[in-house]
Structures are given as structure tokens and as C-alpha cells.
Amino acid sequence: MNGILNIYKNKGMSSFDVVRKVKFVAKERKVGHTGTLDPEATGVLPVCLGKATKIIDYIMNSNKVYEVKFLLGIKTTTYDLEGEVIEKKDISNITHEDVLSAIEYFVGEYDQVPPMYSALKKNGVRLYDLARQGIEVEREARRVNILDINNIKIELPYVSMKVTCTKGTYIRSLCYDIGEKLNVGATMCELNRCSTSVFYEENSVNIDELNEENINNNLITIEEALSFYPKLTVKSSFTKLLINGVKVFDKRLTNEKVEKDVLYRVYDDKETFIGLGKQDNEGFKIVKLLL
């Protein structure tokens, strides 16, 4: 079985629990998800099956939209309510304007430090494994981009909002950082991923409702999953060279304008989907063959 399922994950399940159920229902060994959701989080979790596991990294490399609710005045070890409370502060002096100003401060690019309770690795060890041993290590800040924050609702001590961001953003860290900006601390209490790439909550199938009868109807093709990459049509006379991994430097390759360092969905003029390719100074090459 080859394709992608747009799964809606429920609270209380790990991302691995979702993969395990999909494997069972699909009777497919090669199954992988496209970006971990914490057990207490809900939302869209695309799951790739068979040949589609080749494109996991390419689906993950896209913008995401989250609905989040956080609590001001409390800090925890995990940046969410699952952790141990390590600090409480009075927020009676915080105004709605203060909160809006702090949120606005983080729109755009900023250097974000990931939480200790995350799946990132330090010297080959998952951070959450170190954290569970009571070990805290220095984490390098990573440049993230908060593209938009809207639907802000302030009901102190709670704040909820909708965040559009780039790959690699930790929403728990964003909530924590807003709390630090306000100098009262904050911890995330609810998180729902509304969309990632071309996968939207309204088009998802709940993992509890997935079964052998409906799985094929919910399977999305590799081409559909990659539809956010621009399409490029090359001449069929070059198909064999591209399939064999040759970097083609020939103006006759295509009649279309090709931009450098842009990833394209590559088809030949017989509408055969070859894979994902990119142009650099030395020519055009398929970087992920998907025939």
C-alpha cells in the first residue's frame, strides 16, 4: 500500500501509537509519521505508507498551523501541564495590552531554544531521556519564523491563539518565551495542529475511525502530497538521464523557466512523474527519485 493518510490524532495517544494502528489496519510494514505530536496534543498527523515513506522529510519541510492555549503565571519542567511546577508568579499587574504586545514581539524570525522535553538529540541521546534523569543540558537556539498569530483570546490567566509557523518551531517554547517576556512565566495547556503542508484538519480521518473498509478511500497519492512544490515538465529525451542520476546541463531540457535552488515536482512530456529535482550552477538533477 503506497500513499499518505491524513490522520487526526486524539489526546492521550503517542505518534507511535498512531503508526502502530495504521500498520495493523493497512497490513503494511513500511509506515512512518511526518512530525511528532505530543501525547496530550491533538490534530493533523500525516502518515506515509510504503513508497511514500521516501517523502517524509519533504512533507515535514512545510509550514504548520496550530491552535494553542496557555496559562500565565506558572512555569513547569516540560513547558506544559504534564510537567512539575517549578515557579508561580502573580499576574495581577498584567494587562491585555501587555499580553498583545508580548505576542506581537515574537511574530517574525527569532532564535528559539527547544524545550528539554523534546525528541531532539544531544550527543546521540534524546533530550527527553536526559530530562527524565534530571539532567538539563545547554540547547542551541534555532532560527524559527512565526509567520502569523491571530484569533487571540485573552481570558487571564489563560490566553489562546492561532499560530502559523515554519518547520522546527516548538509551540511550547513560544508560550514559554511569551511568559518570559511578560516576566511571569507561562505553560502550554492545550495544543491542536490544524494543518501541515497540504493536510488540513477538515479533510482528516480520525485514527479511531480508520478501518480496513475505509483506508483506501482515505489514501492520498504521493503526487497530491507534494502538490505544494511547483511543477516542471522536462522533455522525454532526458528522462533516462535524470532517472540514472545524471546532472543535466542542457538548455533543451525544458521549455519552462527554471529557478536555481528551487525544488520542483518533475514530469516528462508524457506526464510521467519522475520525482523531485533541483537546478544549481552545474545543471539540473533529480534529488529524490519517485518512479
pLDDT digit string, tens, across residues 133-178:
676 766 788 999 999 999 999 999 999 999 999 998 999 999 999 9
Distance of CA 220 to the CA centre of its chain: 18
Question: pLDDT-based confidence at 36, cuts 50/70/90?
Answer: confident
187 and 145 within one domain: yes
Q: Which long-range contacts (CB under 8 A, 24 or more apart) does 82-88 make?
A: 82/38, 82/40, 82/117, 83/117, 83/187, 87/185, 88/185
Number of domains in the chain: 3
219 and 185 assigned to the same domain: no
For residues 65 and 291, the model is more confident at 65
Same domain? 82 vs 187: yes
CATH number, domain containing residue 251: 2.30.130.10
Contact (Cβ atoms closer than 8 angstroms) between residue 112 and residue 146: no
DSSP structure string for 117-165: SSS-EETTEEHHHHHHTT-------EEEEEEEEEEEEEETTEEEEEEEE
Regarding whether 259 and 146 lie in a shared domain, the answer is: no
Residues 10 and 78 in one domain: no
Which residue range is the domain that position 38 belongs to?
Answer: 3-61+198-225
Residue 37 sits in a domain of what CATH number? 3.30.2350.10
93 and 151 housed in the same domain: yes
CB–CB of 257/222 below 8 Å? Answer: no
**pLDDT tens sequence across 81-136:** 988 999 999 999 999 999 999 999 999 999 998 876 666 666 676 766 655 767 67
Q: Which residue has the higher pLDDT, 114 or 236?
A: 236
Q: Respond yes or no: is residue 80 known to be catalytic.
A: no
What pLDDT does residue 128 have? 65
CA dihedral 64, 67, 68, 69 (to 10 degrees): 170
> Hey, what's the cell of 103?
505576542
Check 17, 38, 90, 129 and give the catalytic one. 38
In terms of domains, do 163 and 91 share one? Answer: yes
Residues 6+ apart with CB under 8 A from 81: 40, 71, 187, 188, 189
pTM strictly above 0.85: yes
